[in-house]
Chains A and B, each alone.
Chain A
């Protein structure tokens, strides 16, 4: 009974995620038996050296690139078991998951505001309402003045902030960010991290952020570290470890 309650409280749960690329001589085990639990409202930092499997883990949790084996639960619902999908992954992503990637990933033929708006429209928002909310988000992230610029006319940091706006647009229950602050100066970077924490706490979303920026670690509730595909929980802050 109590276990079930705990499950219901979980935004993300992964069980023994393993990802093997290639086969035979070229076989690469990118991720081995990685398990993690993220509660609603919890903000998790994922650290680890380059090539340790962080992006691979995020792609599996984000239902983008399924693991070779292992289970992914989102909001208590089994979504992936190995390569097998238990729901319409694309529609699930649209409704529940917000992404920010290592490289900025904006659609080059849409302006900044349209890049945010499209995510809202895909989720059934009207163009008018979508545009209004997109503008609010851009304003909040300090890029409203560049709303009508194409991504190619924005700096790396501005692009990243537009991507953050898009990820938050549909009020997802899970936010996955892969080095979102790499292109930002440290104060902007910290601001974005704080924004994630705020969204997590206000909306009860589960957030995983891959980061190399050790200065902002105090913001996170929990810290995991990956090494050679292995997942390890490092620190759990007092407030969420009760």
Chain B
């Protein structure tokens, strides 16, 4: 006869509710782990997917994700000249916050070096890739922009031609892929008034400049758009991505480019580490600590539950001792209930989690390792937290059955 099962059966409603409560608590612990995995995955998905061997960024910066990086547009051609480099492409990346259909929308804009990079590495769930140099974009589904929908960014209107899934920035904002010229146009969009003011200011500065006094025609130049002025550089890129020819010695290429005074170079793994160590580290530690705390709380709550459950049947336990039940029977009664509570709680956590986690704004990823690890921890908690109840049960005198 299984005493643990009989007792649970007798107090079924209460036990079920308790198990549900423990299950919800474990679900939060499980979710915490999943959120952590989600953050790591989101942080590195771009670096993993874009498939560049090297990332060349502004000297001494850890860009383009961790901080702002600006490199000269001609860098892309300089890099091509390095032996072993098969391809190089421009990369622009920044985040904007705009309003769309009355909703605040945070968009991480990524400029593709079209047509070299049409975004083949982006997995589409609907629509198509970019087919023209302007005014098209691929958006992540998390942005809530429908296929064919248009959105005004800067002076132009862009049409969503493709939808992708799970492409998020480090902060969890959905990505929008446009061509590089569009990306720069959106980023460096200057209102007309501001341009007029700048041109007027140029004239003002020119009138007192000795150079203009000697060459008055220079002032005519100043009225032209910035892009047409040889002295004023084009808007700059975030980074240049390099693909190496197969069989090339990575270190050798890194050595050469590192020698250039204006840039720093990171390997794919280096860039990953920048993201994980630099940006995600604190979040990771925060969530990690929170997870530990929650686990401890779960253990304490389970210990209290099991202790109360033991107290509730302390009279029966005294009676069992009185009629000669050995300790192993009493230990089994408490321990089995602890394990049932833990195991069922875990199953409830998993089942409800499967339904609830996808509704979270950021990804919650349950990996096999994390699930197994948590299962181990739950078993351990079950055993440890039953100790208090077991201690109480072991100390009760059979005499108390008579009281």
Q: Are B325 and A122 touching (Cβ within 8 A)?
A: yes
Using CB atoms, name the residue of chain A closest to B327: A90
Confirm or deny: B329 has a beta carbon within 8 angstroms of a beta carbon on chain A. Answer: yes
Query: Which residues of chain A are near B221, meaning CB under 8 Å?
Result: none
With contact pairs A114-B1, A121-B1 given, residues A64 and B6 touching in the complex (Cβ less than 8 Å): no
Query: Which residues of chain A are near B399, meaning CB under 8 Å?
Result: 59, 64-65
Which of B1, B324, B329, B397 touches A95 (beta carbons < 8 Å)?
B324
A105-136 CB mask vs B (1 if < 8 Å, else 0) is: 10111100010011101110001001000000
Q: How far is the CB of A114 from chain B (nearest CB, A)?
A: 6
With contact pairs A109-B313, A121-B1 given, residues A150 and B10 touching in the complex (Cβ less than 8 Å): yes
Query: Which residues of chain A are near B323, meaning CB under 8 Å?
Result: 93-94, 99, 118-119, 122, 166
Q: Are A59 and B10 touching (Cβ within 8 A)?
A: no
Q: How far is the CB of B7 from chain A (nearest CB, A)?
A: 5
Query: Which residues of chain B are near A155, meaning CB under 8 Å?
Result: none
Confirm or deny: B231 has a beta carbon within 8 angstroms of a beta carbon on chain A. Answer: no
With contact pairs A101-B402, A109-B313 given, residues A94 and B6 touching in the complex (Cβ less than 8 Å): no
State A35–B110 Cα separation when bound (angstroms). Answer: 97
Confirm or deny: A211 has a beta carbon within 8 angstroms of a beta carbon on chain B. Answer: no
Confirm or deny: A91 has a beta carbon within 8 angstroms of a beta carbon on chain B. Answer: yes
Q: Are B322 and A109 touching (Cβ within 8 A)?
A: no
Confirm or deny: A222 has a beta carbon within 8 angstroms of a beta carbon on chain B. Answer: no
Confirm or deny: B3 has a beta carbon within 8 angstroms of a beta carbon on chain A. Answer: yes
With contact pairs A110-B6, A114-B6 given, residues A105 and B401 touching in the complex (Cβ less than 8 Å): yes
Query: Which residues of chain B are near A166, meaning CB under 8 Å?
Result: 323
Q: Are B6 and A99 touching (Cβ within 8 A)?
A: no
State A59–B398 Cα separation when bound (angstroms). Answer: 10
Number of B residues with CB within 8 Å of any CB on chain A: 23
Q: Are A90 and B1 touching (Cβ within 8 A)?
A: no
Query: Which residues of chain A are near B1, meaning CB under 8 Å?
Result: 110, 114, 117-118, 121, 127, 130
Confirm or deny: B375 has a beta carbon within 8 angstroms of a beta carbon on chain A. Answer: no
Number of A residues with CB within 8 Å of any CB on chain B: 30
Q: Are A122 and B324 touching (Cβ within 8 A)?
A: yes
Q: Are A64 and B402 touching (Cβ within 8 A)?
A: yes
Q: Which residues 187-223 in B have Cβ within 8 Å of A in the complex?
A: none
Confirm or deny: B321 has a beta carbon within 8 angstroms of a beta carbon on chain A. Answer: yes
Q: Are A118 and B3 touching (Cβ within 8 A)?
A: yes
Q: Are A108 and B10 touching (Cβ within 8 A)?
A: yes
Q: Are B11 and A109 touching (Cβ within 8 A)?
A: yes
Using CB atoms, name the residue of chain B closest to A166: B323
Q: Which residues 59-94 in A have Cβ within 8 Å of B in the complex?
A: 59, 64-65, 90-94
B4-38 CB mask vs A (1 if < 8 Å, else 0) is: 00110111000000000000000000000000000
Confirm or deny: B80 has a beta carbon within 8 angstroms of a beta carbon on chain A. Answer: no
Confirm or deny: B287 has a beta carbon within 8 angstroms of a beta carbon on chain A. Answer: no
Q: How far is the CB of B329 from chain A (nearest CB, A)?
A: 7
Using CB atoms, name the residue of chain B closest to A96: B324
Q: Which residues 282-341 in B have Cβ within 8 Å of A in the complex?
A: 313, 316, 319-326, 329
Q: Are A109 and B316 touching (Cβ within 8 A)?
A: yes
B159-170 CB mask vs A (1 if < 8 Å, else 0) is: 000000000000
Confirm or deny: A52 has a beta carbon within 8 angstroms of a beta carbon on chain B. Answer: no
Using CB atoms, name the residue of chain A closest to B8: A109
With contact pairs A95-B324, A118-B3 given, residues A107 and B319 touching in the complex (Cβ less than 8 Å): yes
Query: Which residues of chain B are near A99, meaning CB under 8 Å?
Result: 322-323
Q: How far is the CB of A33 from chain B (nearest CB, A)?
A: 22
State A166–B322 Cα separation when bound (angstroms). Answer: 12
State A162–B338 Cα separation when bound (angstroms). Answer: 30
Query: Which residues of chain B are near A150, meaning CB under 8 Å?
Result: 10
State A59–B326 Cα separation when bound (angstroms). Answer: 19
State A121–B11 Cα separation when bound (angstroms). Answer: 23
Confirm or deny: A159 has a beta carbon within 8 angstroms of a beta carbon on chain B. Answer: no
Q: How far is the CB of A43 from chain B (nearest CB, A)?
A: 22
Q: Which residues 9-67 in A have Cβ within 8 Å of B in the complex?
A: 55, 59, 64-65
Using CB atoms, name the residue of chain A closest to B10: A109
Using CB atoms, name the residue of chain A closest to B11: A109
Q: How far is the CB of B254 from chain A (nearest CB, A)?
A: 71
With contact pairs A64-B398, A64-B402, A118-B1 given, residues A105 and B319 touching in the complex (Cβ less than 8 Å): yes
Q: Are B324 and A59 touching (Cβ within 8 A)?
A: no
With contact pairs A90-B326, A166-B323 given, residues A109 and B7 touching in the complex (Cβ less than 8 Å): yes
Q: Are B324 and A108 touching (Cβ within 8 A)?
A: no
Query: Which residues of chain B are near A114, meaning CB under 8 Å?
Result: 1, 6
Q: Are A93 and B324 touching (Cβ within 8 A)?
A: yes
Query: Which residues of chain B are near A59, meaning CB under 8 Å?
Result: 399, 402
Q: Are A91 and B326 touching (Cβ within 8 A)?
A: yes
State A240–B1 Cα separation when bound (angstroms). Answer: 42
State A130–B1 Cα separation when bound (angstroms). Answer: 10
Q: Which residues 380-403 in B have Cβ within 8 Å of A in the complex?
A: 397-399, 401-402
Using CB atoms, name the residue of chain B closest to A109: B10
Query: Which residues of chain A are near B10, meaning CB under 8 Å?
Result: 108-109, 150
State A109–B313 Cα separation when bound (angstroms). Answer: 9
Can you identify 7 A-B contacts, CB atoms within 8 angstroms? A65-B402, A95-B324, A99-B322, A109-B11, A110-B6, A118-B1, A122-B326
The list of the 10 closest CB pairs from A to B, nearest first, reads A94-B324, A109-B10, A93-B324, A65-B399, A109-B7, A107-B316, A90-B324, A64-B398, A122-B325, A109-B6
Which B residues fall within an 8 A CB radius of A? 1, 3, 6-7, 9-11, 313, 316, 319-326, 329, 397-399, 401-402
| 5 further contact pairs, Cβ within 8 A, besides A103-B402, A110-B3 | A64-B322, A90-B326, A93-B322, A99-B322, A150-B10
